[in-house]
Amino acid sequence: MSSNSEFLQIGEEVAAALGEGRPVVALESTIISHGMPFPQNLDMARTVEADIRGQGAVPATIALMHGKMMAGVSGTDLEELAEKGFSAAKASRRDLAGLLAGKRLAGTTVATTMQIAHLAGIRLFATGGIGGVHRGAETTFDISADLQELGCAPVAVVCAGAKSILDIPKTLEVLETNGVPVLGYGTERFPAFYLRDSGHGVDYAVADAGEAASILQTQWALGMGGVLIGNPILEQDAMDADYINGVIARALSDADDEGIRGKDTTPFLLQRIFDLTGGESLKSNIALVRNNARVAADIAVALAGRRA
């Protein structure tokens, strides 16, 4: 690894790509540490990285390890993160100082991955779905730090919309308040993770990677923050709306019964949905992450071409 600051460490391959102006795509790591069991999580991580390479970009998995914010986790470090799983911490923005000072192993959330990607000079980031406003937030005030970070960090996040467990209308309202443009990749509708259409529109529909790259280049030339790119799950991987909405309602009720709150909510709900669907939700989850990674790589390639 090549060191870049006291707390940031960039992998040699990623550093070389950035130095040469080649396309790089950041990847979060809570999906590895908290999203699925070992060894499926390791297989998924390697597959998504291969998808990005296949589109002509360099993957940069981000995590906290050895007292460093690491951009480009690979080899035995990636294996360690996958094997430790839930015993690793879950790092959001507020956790960084404590976890780095304690040299704790941690997977990074969307917000923290955006922050570290920005520090490393990475502009594109692929994930499954962003966090947002949780249902019942009018009483719990449970709103993900992802939305605030999107308004600050000049990083484009390619995702399958917001997780279906969230209050999507309120999530879109907060994104608007934070000045975050919401693009639809090949669609005028905002996706909802397992579903291609949340029932809500986007700010701008883009037809391809080149059009998305043009907007991103303009956004950052203006000195503005992040951009959210909603990329719908492929039709063959989407779940039936009535079925998954019923499952989500059951999972939310179970979370309420067990008193699950705060950052434990999303992992609990995703695991409960996995159980209730007999593992089918995980298949959709992996498929949409891979689709997002490929699209993010295409946009990164187009953006690098425009810069050149």
Residues carrying an active site annotation: 28, 163
**Displacement of CA 164 from its chain's centroid (Å):** 14
d(CA 60, CA 293): 11
59 to 118, 169, 239, 279: CA distances (angstroms)? 15, 32, 28, 27
Rg of the chain over Cα atoms, rounded to whole angstroms, equals 18
Amino acid at site 167: D
Whether 56 contacts 294, CB under 8 Å: no
End-to-end CA separation in angstroms for the chain: 27
Best CA proximity match to 216, nearest among 207, 208, 226: 226
Q: What is the DSSP string of 116-142?
A: HHHHHT--EEE-S-B--BBTTHHHH--
At 235, which helix (H) or strand (E)? none
**CA 190-116-159 angle, 5° bins:** 15
SS3 category, 151: helix
**How far is the CA of 260 from the CAs of 35, 63, 162, 166, 285, in angstroms?**
17, 25, 20, 15, 22
Q: How far, in Å, CA of 39 to CA of 73, rounded?
A: 17
